[in-house]
């Protein structure tokens, strides 16, 4: 697990990036996918995730659809076309931010970068 302060500010970017690839996910599924993809190094907390999903929905970036699976509810989130543009911006910005931080922290630049 990374110290939580590092992960701050990346939650929206992570959510929107996953939903760009998958088109349809529910909250719990997002937590599990992130956990699996990162080998447990990033674990989203529900207290952070759900309010953020609600905010993204209120902003028209995500839409929802509630589905009954067995006796349990699942709230699926889908990214809107305008949301996809936001997702792309966020991912690009984070990518550039990493390149800048590499310079600042005196780390190796990525291949193809000067």
Partner DNA sequence: ATATATACCTAAGAAAATTATGTATTGTAA
Partner DNA sequence: TTACAATACATAATTTTCTTAGGTATATAT
How many residues of this chain bind its own copies (CB under 8 A)?
38
In the complex, the residues that contact DNA under the rule CB under 7 A are 4-5, 7-12, 26-29, 32, 44-48, 50-54, 69-75
Cα 19 → chain centroid: 8
| Dist. CA 39–CA 20, nearest whole Å | 21
Among DNA, its own copies, none, the one that 70 touches (CB under a kind-dependent 5 to 8 A) is DNA
**DSSP assignment of 61-72, as one string?**
SEEEEEEEETTE
Return the number of the residue (20 or 43) whose C-beta is nearest DNA: 43
* Contacts (CB under 8 A) with its own copies, residues 23-62: 34, 37-38, 41-42
| Dist. CA 83–CA 72, nearest whole Å | 28
Using an 8 Å Cβ cutoff, are 15 and 53 in contact?
A: yes
* Chain residues in the site for its own copies (CB under 8 A): 2-10, 12-14, 17-18, 21, 34, 37-38, 41-42, 91, 93-98, 100-108, 110-111
């Amino acid at each position: 697990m990374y110290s939580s302060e590092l992960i701050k500010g990346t939650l929206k970017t992570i959510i929107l990036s996953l939903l760009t690839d998958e088109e349809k996910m529910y909250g719990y599924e997002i937590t599990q996918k992130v956990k699996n993809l990162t080998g447990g190094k990033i674990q989203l907390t529900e207290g952070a995730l759900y309010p953020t999903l609600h905010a993204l929905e209120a902003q028209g970036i995500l839409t929802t659809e509630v589905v009954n699976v067995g006796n349990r509810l699942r709230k699926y989130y889908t990214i809107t076309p305008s949301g996809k543009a936001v997702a792309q911006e966020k991912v690009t910005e984070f990518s550039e931010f990493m390149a800048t931080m590499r310079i600042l922290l005196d780390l190796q630049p990525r291949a193809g970068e000067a």
